[in-house]
Structure 1
């Protein structure tokens, strides 16, 4: 199969079995779209951040890698210094299984009953769908996560 090389702000192309792939890009980015893969070049997925909503409240920012499988969501979540929720405890219930890797900053995760963990750059963790906790971010904070379910 051939590949298309595109250097624009957005790419749409039919994928396998009629599914679509859409990726937001900055001017320096490049994406190679194959029938079986979407590859971002130059790491510029970070230019595609949007507010991450917890209930009706924007809570940080999320840049999503979009693919053909809606059961899987992956991307980078960030909290900027001085912006909500930097330093503010935020209750969170996982609506999917989540696997994460901390890229920058720290987060304290309180599971109640004196069970608190602190994640720093290089730490990874996984959380089951339906689990609840309270997160306190220390910005700047960034994590890469994969959510399944």
Structure 2
């Protein structure tokens, strides 16, 4: 059993290709956590490739995810979506944004 709290001090920089891309609070390092992005931390339109299969649950803010094949989905707090490894997408954020993610 593992218990954690997501207070402000528990977040650390999340790096993509060596560049800060929001902040993460790891629940299980490398597998699951809470990721957040605040205004000014990322462009409102950001490309993202799912390097692992990923399930996301939006906790705060909203995002429109458009995949390379043109499929688009709007996600708001409470919405859940799952993506396969290798899917290329563009995220259009309404910040602040926070999601629970699980790589499986």
Q: TM range, normalised to the smaller chain?
A: 0.7 to 0.9
Aligned to 1:61: 23
State the TM-score, normalized to the length of structure 1: 0.62
- What are the residue-to-residue correspondences of 1:30-69 with 2, within 5 Å? 37-40=1-4, 43-44=5-6, 46-66=8-28
**In structure 1, what is the Cα distance between the partners aligned to 2:14 and 2:6?**
18
Question: Secondary structure at the residue paired with 1:47?
Answer: helix
Question: Does the CA contact (< 8 Å) of 1:45 and 1:63 recur in 2?
Answer: no
Find runs of 4+ consecutive structure 1 residues off by over 2 angstroms.
Answer: 43-47, 112-115
The alpha-carbon distance between structure 1 residues 113 and 128, as it changes in their structure 2 partners (threshold 3 A), is closer
Higher relative contact order (CA 8 A, sep 6+): 2
Alpha-carbon RMSD across the aligned residues, in angstroms, is 1.9
TM-aligned CA deviation for residue 113 of structure 1: 4.6
With structure 2 as the length reference, what TM-score do the two structures score?
0.86
Q: Is the 8 A contact 1:51 1:59 kept in 2?
A: yes
Higher gyration radius (CA): 1
